[in-house]
Amino acid sequence: MQCAVLNSLTAADRIHALSSTNSTTPPSEDDAHAALQSGEESTHLANLFAAMPVHLEHEFADDPTTYTEAMASEHAPQWTAALKEEFDSLCDLGVYKLVPRSSIPPGHKIMCGRPVFKLKRDQHGTPVRFKARYVCQGYSAIWGQDYTKTSAPTACLESFRILTHLGAALDWEIDQLDIKMAFLHGLLEADEVCYMEQPEGFKEEGKEDWLWELQKGLYGMKQGGLVWNQTMNDAMISWGFTRLKCEHCIYYQRTTIGILLIAIHIDDFLTVGSTKGAIAHFKAQLRTKWTVSDLGEAQFCLGIALERDRAARTISLSQTALIDRIITQFSLKDAVPVSTPMEAGLHLSRRNHAPSTDDQ
C-alpha cells in the first residue's frame, strides 16, 4: 500500500516521506520471527490475555446496558432524546416497512432488537455526546435465509499510521469526518429479507402486532457492515477514486485541485489532502448522499489522539484515554510508578539466565 500511495508523489516527496518520521525504529523481520517462534513466550501471552476482562475495549462502566438502566440514570432525558432521534432516523431513511404478521412466509425467523447506549468521549475521557442505537439481535439470524455473506474490510492500523505520516511529512491537510447512521443507508439484497418485532415503547398505534420488514441494513445484522461497505465503495468509485487492491479501505485520487488519500474505518473517514480545496470538494460529494459530521482537523480518530507539529513536519499518536481506562479497569490508579516494569537488579543472560562471563 505504501508503494502505491507514494507512486502518486514526486521523487523528492517520496524520499522526504520515507525519511521523515517521529516514531522509533520497528523491529526487524528476524526479531519478529524469533518472537513468534518462542513457544514459552507465546504460552505466557496466551495465559495473560485469557485472564483479561473480555470487555476491556467495550463501553465505559457508566454506560447503561439496558433501557431500564438508561431511564433510571441521571441522564435519562438525554438518553430519551437520543433514542427518539434514532427511531425518527430509522423511519425517515426507510429502513423498514410495517407488514402484517400473517404475511410472513412460513419458517422465516422473526428477530428482536435492543437499544445500545454509548456516551461518546474525547481524547481526555470527557463526555461530549449521548448516542443511542437500536440494534438487531443478529445472532439469531439464519445463514442462507437471512444472510449469506458477512465479511467487510476496514483500514488496518499500519495504513492509518502511514497516511498520517505522509500528511505530516508533506505538510498536507489531515481532516476527519464520519457518516451519521451509516449502516442505515445500505440496501439489502432481495434474497436477504429480514423481519423484526417492533421495539417496546415505540410500537405504531393500531398496528402493535405488525412487524418490521427491513429494507436496509441495521446495526447488529450479520451483513450490516458488508452492505454499508458496498454502498460506500460504489459511491467512492463513481466519484473517481481508486481503491488499493491490497487494502480495500484505502482510496486515492489525483485531480486538478489536488491529491487525496482516504482511510476508512466503517463510517469514520481520515482524509489526507494536498490542498484544502480537494478536501472541501470531497466533503461536498459525501453530503450529496449522506449526512456528514465534519470534525475538522484530525485530533482524535479511532481512539487515537493526534498531535501535530506542522513547523517540524512531524505527528505523534497516543492513546492516553485508553491507557487511563485500562489503569482504572485493573485498579492500578494507586499503584506506585517505577522507571521500568522489571525486577530491580535483575541480570539476564543469553544462555539459560545463568551467565558465566561478563560478556554473557
For residue 262, pLDDT over 80 is answered with: yes
Higher pLDDT, 174 or 339: 174
Average pLDDT over residues 210-229: 87
**C-alpha torsion sign, points 304, 83, 115, 219:** negative
Backbone angles phi, psi at 17, to 5 degrees: -65, -40
For residue 227, pLDDT over 90 is answered with: no
For residue 77, pLDDT over 80 is answered with: yes
Query: Of the segments 52-56, 150-154, 279-283, which one has the largest average pLDDT value?
Result: 279-283
For residue 11, pLDDT over 70 is answered with: no
Per-residue model confidence (pLDDT) at position 24: 39
**Amino acid at residue number 6:** L
Per-residue model confidence (pLDDT) at position 54: 42
Tell me the C-alpha to C-alpha distance, in Å, between residue 95 and each of 104, 160, 193, 197, 215. 18, 32, 12, 14, 5
- The domain segmentation of the chain, as residue ranges, is 58-329
Average pLDDT over residues 167-171: 95
For residue 97, pLDDT over 70 is answered with: yes
Per-residue model confidence (pLDDT) at position 310: 93
- Residues 6 or more apart whose Cβ sits within 8 Å of residue 126: none
For residue 296, pLDDT over 60 is answered with: yes
DSSP string for residues in 61-87: TTS-SSHHHHHHSTTHHHHHHHHHHHH
> Quick one: which H or E segment has residue 147?
none
For residue 348, pLDDT over 60 is answered with: yes
Q: What is the pLDDT of residues 23-57, one digit of tens each?
A: 434 444 444 444 434 444 445 444 544 444 444 33
Average pLDDT over residues 291-297: 91
Give this prediction's pTM.
Answer: 0.63
As a whole number of angstroms, the distance between CA 139 and CA 50 comes to 24
